[in-house]
Amino acid sequence: MNLLEREILLVDKPAGMSSFAVVARIRRLLTEQMRAQYKKQGKTPPKRAKVGHAGTLDPFATGLLICLLDKGTKQAGDFLKLDKRYEATIELGKVSTTGDIEGEIVETFADYDSFGVPAATKIRSVLDAFRGEIVQTVPVYSAVKINGRRAYDLARKGVKVEMPKRKVTICDIKILDYHWPYLKIDCKVSSGTYIRALGEDIGKKLGVGGYLTELRRTEIGEFKIKDAVTLAECGIID
């Protein structure tokens, strides 16, 4: 794929790769293409191309990543406040240290008979309660800085800190599929919303706990996953 005339590239990020790693691979490809072009023109090429992204995804997550190329990196601020849409799968009945599959399971609600498996009607009622403006506690495993240090660095060292709270908006939320213990939801949320925290809070509200096993971003503002390309389609193969 020729990246030279693009300022925005929509990428379908694969699972198991950080957003930084995706950007690094695209930067390498764009740098190679720029060097080839500059060589033809008899010009001195830049040491490396400028590439960034507009909104990170956790390594286990997949889906829409807006990559900004060359002059497009100046547009980063235009994307930061856009609403986003996700599909998330929550495993109910368990709690993870990180709120997702990358953490350690630290609590299991094994005695389902004592409270009963939540019915779909109860789950819909709980989801309805999250619509609108809510207050979220930022996850301890996040990039937020606490006294100048990343929260996840402190968490990995066992340092306990009080995490900040944020007002966010859940524009829409609905069930896509439910077969205990797995609940798949679709949600459109404001910028700054942590879906891991939302999954945990849904589990708490149901009284059974929960953590994310899958997360896929499908929209950022008007940009949609159907218009994204894979790394393989870009010509990037590990």
Q: Does domain 84-220 have CATH number 3.40.140.10?
A: no
Rounded (to 5) percent helix, strand, coil in the chain: 30, 35, 35
CATH of domain 8-81+222-234: 3.30.2350.10
Closest CA to 31 of 8, 55, 3, 65: 3
Are the beta carbons of 56 and 71 closer than 8 angstroms? no
Task: Quote the DSSP letter at residue 30.
Answer: H
Closest CA to 149 of 136, 163, 135: 163
Cβ-based neighbours of 109, under 8 Å, separated by 6 or more? 93, 94, 208, 209
Catalytic residues: 58
Is 8-81+222-234's fold the same as 84-220's? yes
Q: What is the pLDDT of residue 110?
A: 62
Q: What is the pLDDT of residue 138?
A: 85
Q: What's the CA gap between 126 and 175, in Å, rounded?
A: 11
Q: What is the pLDDT of residue 72?
A: 93
Q: Where are the domains of the chain?
A: 8-81+222-234, 84-220
Task: Quote the DSSP letter at residue 78.
Answer: G
Closest CA to 89 of 169, 224, 180, 208: 180
Cβ-based neighbours of 116, under 8 Å, separated by 6 or more? none
Q: What is the pTM of this model?
A: 0.91
Q: What is the pLDDT of residue 80?
A: 85
Quick one: how far is CA 65 from the chain centroid? 9
Q: What is the mean pLDDT of each run of 10 residues along the chain (238 residues)?
A: 94 96 96 91 86 92 97 90 97 93 85 72 97 92 76 75 90 97 97 95 94 98 97 86
Are the beta carbons of 3 and 33 closer than 8 angstroms? yes
Q: What is the pLDDT of residue 66?
A: 97
Q: What is the pLDDT of residue 114?
A: 54
End-to-end Cα, the chain, rounded Å: 16
